[in-house]
Amino acid sequence: MRDPAAEIRKGVRAAAPSIEGGPRLSNRARERIAGYLFVAPDAIGLLIFVGGPMILSLSLGFFSVSGFGEYAFVGLGNYRRMIADPLFWRSLEVTILYVVALVPSLYVVGLGLALLVQTNSRFNTVVRSLLFMPQTVSLVVVGLVWQVLLVDKIGLFNQFGAALNLQSISWLGDPRFALFTVIGISVWFLMGFYMLIFLGGLQDIPREYYEAARIDGAGPVQSFLKITLPLLQPTSFFVLLVSTVAAVCGSQTFDLIYIMTKGGPANSTSLAIFYIYQQAFLFNEYGYAAAMASVLVVVLMAITVLLFILTRGGRFTYG
């Protein structure tokens, strides 16, 4: 695994017909060996750096880990502590609010934008790229730019607000608004991506269906409800699943909070994923953090299953 070149060389030797007259491998065996060797680097890497940590995370939750790396088995201790930790419950509450607000917003905005720019024209190509542009910028930069735009009183948003005779709002400093500000920025950042995913789905719907519906006298609303939405079901499932995962534990969730609010004010933006990070790397509570991460994984799995049932299997392909 450490030396891919050696592995490839081995693969060549195994796959090459042995001209020197050694024991010839059957074609079937050659194909098998080549298959395993080709998959090996990624399979082993994913096992070590994704699958392994996932399993490690589930078991780490039963240990208490000191800053020096000493482990002590504490059974359900971390979980008991969690139940009694008001900040943990607060972070779950914030996470649920964030998901419930962000996922439907992204769905509606993404689909809306896709419908708006779905016809292929040079103009729409430019508009699509511009709408996608925020995605290319890092979340650290996004967080910094929005922070300066939203500065109290003298920030651009509050200046424009003042011009419209609105009261100056502390977008990130007021516990009533901070989370919704972050949600708005997340939508701005992510919408271009989901727009493109929806565009891909829309293009797979045969034009003739719309033609037929129009001849039958269906209006645009009707053909949207009766043709677009049902045939978009696989895309919708994909979008809901991916955006839910992203909302619970995506990097945009963590990065934005880290840069903009650090969980504040008054813990109003303390998303679970950020609280876990704080516990682990600010207070060295690795075991406790892992236990909370396990709860998050269970919640995510439950959401996935629920989505699967709600979308009746959520097939990724038609038919």
Partner 1 sequence: MAEIASRAEFSADDADERRRLHVVRLVLYVVSSALAFMTVAPLFYMLSMSLKQTNEVFGTNLVPHHPTLGNFVYVFTQVDFIRFLWNTFFVSAVVTVIALIFHSMAGYALARLRFPGRDAIFLAMFATFLISQPVIIVPLFILARTLHLLDSYAGLIVPSIFNAFGIFLLRQFYLGIPRELEEAALIDGASYFRIWRSIILPLSRPILSALAILFFLANWNSFLWPLTIISDQDLWMVQVAIANFHQQYNGSWNYIMAASTVVALPTIVMFVIFQKRIVESIKTSGVK
The neighbouring-strand residues paired with 65 are 71
Q: Which lies closer to partner 1 via its Cβ, residue 12 or residue 225?
A: 12
Which one of residues 36, 89, 283, 308 is an interface residue with partner 1 (CB under 8 A)? 36
Binding mask 47-86 for partner 1 (x = CB under 8 A): -xxxxxxx-xx--x----x---x-----------------
- Residue 295 neighbours by CB under 8 Å, 6+ apart: 82
Give residue 76's Cα distance to chain centre: 30
Q: Token digits for 26?
A: 């059957």
For residues 71 and 86, what is the distance between their CA atoms, to the nearest angstrom?
Answer: 26
In 3D space, the residue among 264, 254, 268 whose CA is nearest the CA of residue 140 turns out to be 254
Distance CA 113, CA 129 (A): 12
Q: Does 257 bind partner 1 (CB under 8 A)?
A: no
Interaction of residue 16 with partner 1, rule CB under 8 A: yes
Q: How many residues bind partner 1 (CB under 8 A)?
A: 106
Backbone torsions φ then ψ of 164, nearest 5 degrees: -95, 15
The residue from 186, 253, 261, 269 that contacts partner 1 (CB under 8 A) is 253
Find the distance separating the first CA and the last CA of the chain, reported in whole Å. 40
Write out the binding residues for partner 1, residues 125-154 only, by CB under 8 A: 125-134, 136-141, 144-146, 148-149, 151, 154
The owner of tokens 């876990």 is 276
- In the complex, minimum distance from the CB of residue 15 to partner 1, in angstroms, rounded to a whole number: 4
Residue from 238, 240, 243, 275 that binds partner 1 (CB under 8 A)? 238
> Among residues 24, 93, 104, 159, which is the contact residue for partner 1, using CB under 8 A?
159
Residues of span 266-295 touching partner 1 by CB under 8 A: 273, 276-277, 280-281, 286, 289-290, 293
Distance, in Å, from the CA atom of 73 to the CA atom of 62, rounded to the nearest integer, reads 6
Among 111, 172, 179, 239, binds partner 1 (CB under 8 A): 239
